[in-house]
Structure 1
Amino acid sequence: MTAESAGASPVTEGTGSYTTEATRTATRLTLAPRETPQSVSVITRQVMDDFAVESITDVVNMTTGVSSKAFDSSRNGFSARGFDITNLMVDGVPTTWSAGWAAGETQMDTLLYDRVEVVRGATGLVTGAGNPSAAINMVRKRADSVQPRGFVSGQVGSWDRYQGTVDLSGALHDSGKIRGRVVGSYLEESSYIDLAENEKQVLLGTLGIDLTDSTLLNLGASYQENSPTASMWGGLPTWFSDGTRTDWSSSKTTAPEWAEWASTQTTYYANLEHTFDSGVRLYGAYSRATNEADLRLLYLSGAPDKTTGLGMSASPTWYDVSREQDTLDLSATIPFYFAGQDHEVVIGSMYSQQELVTERRAALTSSPVGNYFEWNGAYPEPEWGPSAVYTTQDTDELGAYAVARLRLADPLQLIIGSRISDWETSGMKWDGSTYKFEHEHEITPYAGLIYDINDQYSTYVSYSEIFNPQDYQDRNGDYLDPLEGQNYEAGIKAEYFGGRLNASLAVFRIEQDNLAQPDIGQVVPGGIAQAYYAAQGTTSDGYEIEVSGALTENWNLLVGWAQFSAEDADGEKVNTRYPRRSANLFTTYRMGRLTLGGGVNWEDGNYTIATNPLGQRDKLEQSSYALVNVMARYALSDELSLQLNVDNLLDKKYYSQIGFYQQHAFGEPRNGKLELRYSF
């Protein structure tokens, strides 16, 4: 019996659980965790509430086998199993994005979502193009409550943090067939980084409409505005001019007071689903997402003199970024009975069109940096030239897919499917030259075999392929060939206490060609962009362990361990800036009205090789470290609660990234949040 036929729901809000009954992200079939032949982690609404998880970057940092690195104060990159994550999804629909022209994608507020599902490995069946790393699927909250339900809260915290939040839902008609929900938040705060401040506004409005007893229409719109000031562009200088290492405070900045990396994200969406008496389910979804960013920035490069602080150069630039993406998703889920067994097939098609336009204003004036030791952000804003189109990019992807769950025998299931994709991109580079390249009829197969050992344990093997067009350029300015890879995985899964606790162990091997690697000391002709070369025969081998759910009625747990090794055909390590081993542990225990909890994130050491001011190769390294978080919540009444969260309790100083343009950045020191919440 499948999760769907058993009535299992992927929704986590209101369950109080650290796990879910079912997921869809891996295959588009509704499957229980134990039925899914791939590694899947779910960060539920309860986990996000307990540990005050605010952004998608925060979610990544607490997910088994997934790592986050900050490029600067407004951008992050994600990785898993040794490869960059390029697939962000919303309600199962892939969203194309690039960290180079980030417009708030990794800062999306978790207030909008019921849960975040992370599928590790190749996900070509559901995403088309991508890396065999992971896909991150953010599943929106819905208007599904007939009774009035919601909460209002106020929060204060470190660095002058003040936030107000509201989440209200209920029936808009006496019949309960029309339901509405409004979610909103306003935040203002300073930062551990000197001069930096931020304002954030989040809003979601959605309707759930029962057109008939078998037809559901969901309509919605969301908006998020991030308005930071004194935004950094890049990191801090790693060396002094004599080649010795710098040792900055974690509050040190390179930003002037006028710099900003402001962004807005606006999405309109609609989905319609109808279920026939036969069990056949038709689904259609459309979304239009617009991401815009206003980037007035100052890049500081060079290495300061160890005594005078002189030697830094300033490059002010103003960019405007606009990214619009329209997506249409159509599918049919068809259950059928054959040879004494229940089976299921999903067929569908997805079309995505994205337009990216960037504009640039050059600085007509410039000023010296002076003594960087005395930097206070008072660097004058330059006079700006007129705005002109800088780059454009149009990307179209059309995919058709089919996947089937076939029960070969009572204990044995086969999940088999494939996707065919057409992918095309064209545009204009910064130098005015145009480009166009495409890939037609790319096939990404998927196969998984699951054997139920008994009612608690199952074992599986799976195989998938993936391709990924690349926009990396080599030292000659040529684009690298698309990534091509295969993903092999095997594991064992278990469920305890009627599915309230899930556990998994997976081993994997990834084989990939044309992996982009930094060409140390080389840049793309005509600019300062890092040049790359294609590594052949790259492999990643490893394993992952995860346990999530409830040990008792009062004790929740999320614990994971991941380890991998990634090498090229010559046995040389690749992507060494990613930690090879990582562990996470988050748990809460409820004692009457009091809930206490804690968490630990641990990452192994990582490094990269860079060139210092003396022209020497230097190893930049982050040693292994652990971050400890704690929480406490007390229910003052059935409706009113007070919650305290403290992150980085031990005040560990660590790098949030090393080696990005031969610079580095620091992570957040100890900080806390106190929230008063009224729920009904």
Structure 2
Amino acid sequence: MRSSLVIRFKPLVLSIHFAAIAMGAGMATIAHAQVSVNIAAGDLNQALNQYALQHNVNLILDGQSLAAYQTTGLQGSYSIEDGFNQLLAQTPFQIQKVINGYTLVAKTAAAKTQVRDMGQLKPIDVSAQGQVKTNSNGVNQLPVITVSANRSTTENTHSYTTGNMNTATRLNLSMKETPQSTTVITRQRIDDQNMTSIGDVVRSAPGLILSSAEGPGRQSFSARGFNIDNIMYDGLPTRYQSWVVGVQSNMAMFDRVEIVRGATGLVTGSGNPSAAINVIRKRPTRETKINLTGSAGSWDNYRGEIDASTALNESGSVRGRIVGSYQDQGTFRDDEKAKHSLAYTAIETDLTSDATLLVGTYYQKDFNNSFWGGLPLSAIGTQLNLPRSTNPANDWEDKTTEVISVFTDLEYRFSDEWKLRLNAMKTWNDAIFSGTYLRRTDSTGFAYSAYQAGYDEDQTGLDLFVSGSYHLFGRDHEVGFGASHRDTKMTTHNYSGGGIYGSNLDPFNLGRINKPNFIYTQSSTNVIKQDGINAMTRLNLADSIKLILGGRLDWYYYKNRSGSGSYKVSDELTSYAGLIYDINPNHSVYGSFTTIFQPQSNKDINGKILDPITGNNYEVGIKGEYFDGALNASAALFRVDQENRAKILTDQSTCPTYPATSCYEAAGLVRSEGIDIEIQGEITPSWQIGAGYSYVKATYKKDADSTKVGQLFDTDYPKQVFKVTTSHQLSDQLHKWRIGGSLYWQDDTYVDVSNNGVATGLKLQQKAYTLLDVMLNYKASKNLDLQLNVNNVLDKTYYRGLSYDTGWGSSGAYGDPRNAVFTVRYNF
């Protein structure tokens, strides 16, 4: 067993080794490239902020003290400091590098100014516009008031990465300091790829898989071989089930998406050892800005968006933001339509100098008239090669979901080192599903199977978290601890009238059926509650060694209010451990162990609920951070064991409930092994990239069906996936143009074909395929952007989901053919 493990991992270890060498060598060859800028003459404060954002650096300055100064502008290519000093040439100030960015100092005192950590700087009183103040050390410098460029918020940074994220551990760490595989999809990347839903993000994110195998309106997400069943909103986890409500979050209201792959029980509690997807909302700004976006695309795809933010009082202590969007679209399938609308409002208030309160709400409504059934198979389990425009749905079919959510976020800063955060959200999801799928009636003909149900899903999340630093054994360390509560109530409304309609239908020339007379019959309700407490600390063992330890204790309760089957799990412990060693200022290596649990309802021979399924994630890797965090890279080797899976007892003679219900034991095991390699951010100031390669192989190690042992856990999951997105701003006379694109490649997959649930021994294969998208952006003026996205440029025909049964459950779906979207953005 041990030698087999070494042999199996050797190619992956070598892959990480050579990736690390290439990573370091590649970075060494990249010079401190210049960026092409075109900053208009005018207010110096705005010019400095614009320049800092283009270089993706922090800049600390006092806007009021700069109000008396103007600039003649800046055009051409400059390094970071040369450009700053050109802008400041006619002022008494020059740029000064500090640990986390830049600040301004008086030219005569620059040599005496001490380098200080921006996180420790405190505001200095301003007594007159443009006046240079003297600090306690007798050094003249500009008053420090605000951080003009925030690298955690990705809006207006033009970057494909971010400085810090806290999705993995709740502690605010850079990617290099986080001992797990992490990705951020920034606002710039969302706009460049024209992402409108969370499904678009999953399609683009390294290591994540988007599947429509349940039908084009029921998208599921997975990572490392397992389904993703949690979506987080500003750190609060909510349940995601694609086959029930499956709300596709509208990206218009989010700044970025943070992703952590592997087991994430420390932050989510229960779930699969796949990934945490954390969508971070846009927040109100002090400056007034209004962004208008309109787009038109293939198949009558039209979308409009407004995003407005401003201070609501003179001091800027109260700020507001509204976001609205509406999309009306057709698709390449005949008569398929979808509509998406969003209204988002947020108000942020500085209650005191130490307390900030955010309150907000949003309403989202989505409609799709083809969501369930897909393309059928032939009687012998092969593709019928139907036209891509084939739509098996009837025009009355309807999947409509409405979401109303209210949320609040209170932050209180006890000091520079300690703060408290109270985060709460309440969401009401209402959905109605009326749909059909094709069911085979004989070797050539089909009929429609119809169904209708309604779903009301109410979710509540509450989290209290305190974090700070402490001094021990001569070193500073970080700690955080908190408590959380979440509950989900799902009410299902059932209807009669479903059944088989039509006969001998030809999928090449489908006849349609009228909507059945669905009649409400009854409702059922179940409730899930989960309470947890967690704690974590980051120990500074040495200048180059950090150890992160964490633990979480959960109490989980499931109640079937309409029948039997209730159960609970108490005192379930999840663990987190990560060790990071800094090889040098740019590189670190790490190892981590993370866990998660998933309750299950099956019972053993004593009538006891089985212990929860556990997911254990083992990971080692190397991370690189370059250009002050503007570029991040990583390579990781991982193993995930999902244990205690319910395994039906071979001998049911001692099972007291058999044959009505079988007895089980917690003995099943699925193991996922693989590699993640990723690079994201700025290669040069004009060249952004987000790329990732993942290899995943998940197999059964123990199962009730002995024939499955050693076989793939999910054959429809590609082992290898490569994704890259890039954009490049041209220089000189073409500096107004940006060109970019995306490439997606996955290797072949297959499904085992059944006939009405009975195995046939046949396999249906999806061969490896490559998709290419291109983007062209033109900045017509300071306020106006024009952008063209052309997707699937090579017009590749492929399936984004495979049907798996010749008799029923048809769920195959073609991927989108070549299509284009033209977008106009106006900012003022």
Q: What TM-score do you get using the length of structure 2 for normalisation?
A: 0.76
Query: d(CA) in 1 for partners of 2:228 and 2:371?
Result: 23
Alignment partner, residue 438 of structure 1: 568
Residue matched to 1:668: 816
Question: How far apart are 1:148 and its partner, in Å?
Answer: 0.8
Q: CA deviation at 1:314?
A: 2.2
Question: Whose helix fraction is larger, Structure 1's or Structure 2's?
Answer: 2
Equivalent residue number for residue 776 of structure 2: 632
| CA-CA distance at 1:658 after TM superposition | 1.6
Counterpart in 2 of 1:339? 473
Deviations 1:356-410 (A, max 9, x none): 0010111178641442236556311112223421x32100000100000110111
Give secondary structure in 2 for the equivalent of 1:89: strand
Partner of 1:457: 587
Alignment of 1:104-115 (within 5 A): 104-105=246-247, 107-115=248-256
Q: Deviations over 1:2-57 (max 9, x none)?
A: 99958974211111110010000000000011000000010000000011011111
Classify the secondary structure of the residue corresponding to 1:257: coil
**How far apart, in 1, do the equivalents of 2:283 and 2:215 lie?**
33
Taking the TM superposition and a 5 Å limit, the aligned residue runs for 1:37-436 are: 37-70=179-212, 71-101=214-244, 103-105=245-247, 107-143=248-284, 145-229=285-369, 231-240=370-379, 244-277=382-415, 279-302=417-440, 305-306=443-444, 310=445, 312-363=446-497, 367-373=501-507, 375=509, 378-389=512-523, 391-427=524-560, 433-436=563-566
Answering whether residue 167 of structure 2 is matched by residue 25 of structure 1, we say yes
Question: SS of the counterpart of 2:202?
Answer: helix
Q: Counterparts of 1:479 and 1:302 in 2: how far apart (Å)?
A: 39
Which residue in 2 is equivalent to 1:617? Answer: 761
- In structure 2, the partner of 1:551 is 683
Identical pairs, percent? 37
Match of 2:127 in 1: none
CA distance in 1, matches of 2:119, 2:568: 40
Task: Return the offset for 1:621.
Answer: 1.6
CA-CA distance at 1:335 after TM superposition: 1.1
Secondary structure at the aligned position of 2:566 is classed as strand
Check whether the contact 1:117–1:138 (CA below 8 A) recurs between aligned residues: yes
Change (3 A) 1:244 1:184: closer
More strand, by proportion: 1
Aligned 8 A contact 1:284 1:329 in 2: yes
Q: CA RMSD in A?
A: 2.6
DSSP-derived class of the 2:266 partner: helix
Indicate how the Cα distance of structure 1 residues 5 and 439 shifts in structure 2: closer, same or farther if over 3 A, else same. Answer: farther
* The 10-residue stretch of structure 1 (570-579 or 267-276) with the greater mean CA deviation from structure 2: 570-579
Question: How much has 1:492 moved relative to structure 2?
Answer: 0.7
Aligned residue type for 1:551: I
The one of 585, 610, 616 aligned to 1:486: 616
Alignment deviations for residues 524-567 of structure 1 (CA, whole Å, 9 cap, x no partner): xxxxxxxx998723211111110000111110011111112222
Give the Cα separation in 2 of the matches to 1:366 and 1:32. 56
Q: Distance in 2 between matches of 1:663 and 1:278?
A: 55
Q: Using the alignment, how far apart are the partners of 1:216 and 1:292 within structure 2? A: 32
Residue 427 of structure 1 and its aligned partner are, at CA, apart by 1.4
Partners of 1:588 and 1:492 lie apart in 2 by 26
Measured after TM superposition, the shift of residue 482 of structure 1 is: 3.0
SS, match of residue 99 in structure 1: coil
Residues 1:10 and 2:152 are matched in the alignment: yes
Alpha-carbon distance in 1 for matches of 2:299, 2:210: 23
Aligned in 2, Cα 1:93/1:279: closer, same or farther, shift over 3 Å? same
Change (3 A) 1:365 1:583: closer
The one-letter amino acid paired with 1:49 is D
> Where does residue 606 of structure 1 map in the other structure?
749
Give me the whole-angstrom Cα distance separating, in 2, the residues matched to 1:22 and 1:303: 57
Structure 1 residue 455 displacement after superposition? 0.7
Distance apart, 1:515 and its partner CA: 4.7
Match of 2:125 in 1: none
Change (3 A) 1:27 1:13: same
CA contact (8 A) 1:232 1:253 kept: no
What is the alpha-carbon distance in structure 2 between the residues aligned to residue 581 and residue 4 of structure 1? 42
SS of alignment partner, residue 200 of structure 2? helix
Can you list the C-alpha shifts for 1:618-664, whole angstroms capped at 9, x where unaligned?
Answer: 11221111111110011111111110001111111111112453542
Q: Distance in 1 between matches of 2:718 and 2:574?
A: 28
- 2:789 is aligned to 645
* Residues 433/238 of structure 1: CA separation in 2 closer, same or farther (3 Å cut): farther
CA distance in 1, matches of 2:679, 2:382: 45
For 2:175 and 2:233, the matched residues in 1 are separated by 20
Which one-letter code corresponds to 2:240 in the other structure? W
- Structure number with bigger Rg: 2
**From 431, 443, 448, the counterpart of 2:578:** 448
Paired positions, count: 655
Please report how far the alpha carbon of residue 337 of structure 1 lies from its aligned counterpart in structure 2 after TM superposition: 1.7
Determine if contact 1:366/1:382 at 8 Å carries over to the other structure. Answer: no
| Letter in structure 1 aligned against 2:197 | S
1:97 CA displacement: 2.6
Q: Name the counterpart of 2:40.
A: none
Q: 1:364 to 1:351 in 2, by over 3 A?
A: closer
In structure 1, the residue matched to 2:124 is: none
Change (3 A) 1:175 1:490: same
Task: Give TM-score, length-normalised by structure 1.
Answer: 0.92
Deviates more, 1:379-388 or 1:90-99: 379-388
CA offset digits 1:544-602 (Å, max 9, x no partner):
11000011111001111111222222322211211111101110001110010011011
Give 1:528's aligned residue: none
- The alignment partner of 1:59 has SS state of helix
Tell me which amino acid in the other structure corresponds to 1:114.
D
Give the distance between the partners of 2:800 and 2:273, measured in 1 at CA: 23
1:514-553 aligned within 5 A: 514-515=644-645, 536-553=668-685
- Residue pair 1:367, 1:380 contacting (<8 A) in 2 also: no
1:25 is aligned with what amino acid?
Answer: T
Q: Distance in 2 between matches of 1:280 and 1:262?
A: 45
- Larger CA deviation: 19-28 vs 604-613: 604-613
CA positional deviation for 1:334: 2.1
The equivalent residue for 1:523 is none
**Contact 2:286–2:316 under 8 Å retained in 1:** yes
Measured after TM superposition, the shift of residue 290 of structure 1 is: 1.1
Q: Secondary structure at the match of 1:49?
A: helix
Q: Deviations over 1:87-122 (max 9, x none)?
A: 211111110132231x242x2111111111110011
Aligned to 1:529: none
